[in-house]
Amino acid sequence: MIKKLCIVLFFCFGLNVWAQEIENIPNKNEEQAFLHVNTNVLVPGESLNYVFYNLLSSKHAISDLSKIAHVKLINSNAETIFSHIVNLKNGIGYSDYLIPSTLPSGTYNLVGHTTWMENFSEPGYFQVPVIILNPYQKEENNVFEFSESDFKGPAQNSENIKLDLNKSEFGLREMVQVQLNGLKNLDDYCLSISVRKIDSLIELELPKASELKKSNSSNFSFKNTPEYEGRLIKGKVENVQNSNLSVAIPGAPGQFRTYPLDVDGNFEISIPPSQQTEVAYLNVLSANENSELNFEFQNDNFQLTHFLSPKIQLNQNQKKSLKQRSLHAQIEQAYRESKKDSVLIVNPSKPIYGSRGIDYILDEFTRFPTMDETFVEIIQYTSFRGKANEHRINVFVYSTETNFGDAPLVLVDGLMTHDHEYIYNLDPKTINSIHIVRDKYFLGGATFQGIVDIKTFNTEISPALTFNQYALELQKTEPQKIYFSEKYTSENEKIRKNRIPDFRYQLLWLPKLTQPAFEFFTSDVKGVYEINIQGFQANGTAVSLSKTFKVD
């Protein structure tokens, strides 16, 4: 009883202690964002690519506090066009957005921030003006005009680092070799690379890391904890207090968690960065199986205080160029199947019980017709107790010195269930494996007498598992990709691709440079191209490199 009381006290007061510690964090942990974009003038069919750098605002060293970034495209009416949730690894994350033909011409702002930034009087979010030119829609009455300060500035190179090419002019579909000289240790740098055609359309000046100003003067007022373990979701369960909330994600038993509810039923849950499903199931552990649960969730309260709005007006020559560029984008989209980006497979999360326990793969044993026989003949230290319609699973834990009398944690395909009768009536032929953990398990404020983790062959979730659980719709985090880069390395490859048009304006996009030498191939589009490299050194020194070459 004393041990149980200690556990309860810990979970009651733990959050208050953490909140007090958060408020005492000094301003040296203030975060600031920087976005490296491939371009800020686009037509439908082109992709807006970006890399999010999460920095300490005082010195611009990479911040590893937040593990989630939020990136939005907002129009002049403060409407959100897209909202991305981006995983940050060592302070860096990236994604892209394909401009649809339905998006009207106009000025937009690409904004990147973390929730931790909202605690400061001068939030460190970063915004980039983006111009969309849509020739497929009617021109609007508003006139776009350029100011002198909006024109693209001259190339700015960081000291001691040189960007060298094998030559300055190239033919169509020819290899370009690039070497970065002056980098003493590439591991000390976080750099991203864009190689793109400088179009005859007027280009706005792209943001440079070297022009980002440092700041450490903001006042701190606690609103949000940092998303240091994953995306945070805040809410409230009505008419429930001082209990525990379970969060289960289908197919991912390693992501099962429990969280305490305070005296008012408020909660704050964390969705792991590796989550790739669109729903999570929430349940109050102390709730009656037939009781109805009402959930309320806190909305995203981010507000853009200032909208950057450079204006443009196209002359007749530029309108012709716009139509040609739009035609090229359409042709590239038509051949998109042969030029796909590669999506990286996310490693599944480890089970909550780690490597403990015994795993029973049922195909390795003689299968029995009922779950009761399966548990008796195959699954050791676990059995069904009770009479018809009241069966309960019992796990014999290693130590019985202190027995809380609690039921085991039972998971089926990642979902928790209290309905042991449902397990008793399962067809063993539908089950792939059963994992048994014989340790007492403390999760959040809940205590379990062992763990039974069942994985089935089913592709759909049984309604019995989700009965009276709240289905919380989740936005997927942005997938990790290897971006397509065309290659014409052999004669056979050149002949095979000879009939495939290559109207790429974006020749290369590398969210992270992994070696000082790299190469890419030109396309069928003639003109002047720019290599744009942005990033930061480990000590906070900004890197901005730019060099042009010609394709003819």
Q: What is the mean pLDDT of residues 306-331?
A: 81
202 vs 205: CA distance, rounded Å: 10
State the DSSP string of 191-203: EEEEEEE--SSPP
> What's the token pair of residue 124?
């460190």
| 423 and 454 Cβ atoms separated by less than 8 Å | yes
pLDDT of 549 over the 80 cut: yes
Q: What is the SS3 assignment for 85-148?
A: EEECECCEEEEEEECCCCCCCEEEEEEEECHHHHHECCCCCEEEEEEECCCCCCCCCCCCCCCH
Q: How far apart are the first and last CA of the chain?
A: 82
Q: What is the mean pLDDT of residues 518-538?
A: 96
Confidence label for 27 from pLDDT (cuts 50, 70 and 90): low
- In tens, the pLDDT along 275-312 reads 777 889 998 876 555 567 789 998 887 888 888 887 66
Q: For the chain, what percent of residues have pLDDT higher than 70? A: 86
Q: What is the mean pLDDT of residues 137-161?
A: 52
- In tens, the pLDDT along 190-228 reads 999 999 999 767 767 899 999 999 877 678 888 888 999
Q: How far is CA 440 from CA 215, 406, 436, in A?
A: 49, 9, 12
pLDDT of 251 over the 80 cut: no
336 vs 332: CA distance, rounded Å: 6
- In tens, the pLDDT along 75-126 reads 999 999 999 999 999 999 999 999 999 999 999 999 999 999 988 888 899 9
State the DSSP string of 387-420: STT--EEEE--S--SS---PPPEEEETTEE---H
Helix, strand, coil % over all residues of the chain, rounded to 5: 15, 35, 45
186 vs 180: CA distance, rounded Å: 10
545 vs 195: CA distance, rounded Å: 12
Q: Which residues of 361-391 are buried (b: 16+ CB within 10 A; e: fewer)?
A: ebeeeeeeeebeebbeebbeebebeeeeeeb
Q: How far is CA 550 from CA 178, 201, 206, 329, 530, in A?
A: 14, 17, 20, 21, 9
| 57 and 214 Cβ atoms separated by less than 8 Å | yes
pLDDT of 540 over the 70 cut: yes
pLDDT of 5 over the 60 cut: no
- In tens, the pLDDT along 160-188 reads 889 999 999 999 999 999 999 988 889 99
pLDDT of 486 over the 60 cut: yes
> What's the token pair of residue 196?
């793109």
Confidence label for 14 from pLDDT (cuts 50, 70 and 90): very low
CA–centroid distance for 485 within its chain: 23
pLDDT at residue 173 in the model? 95
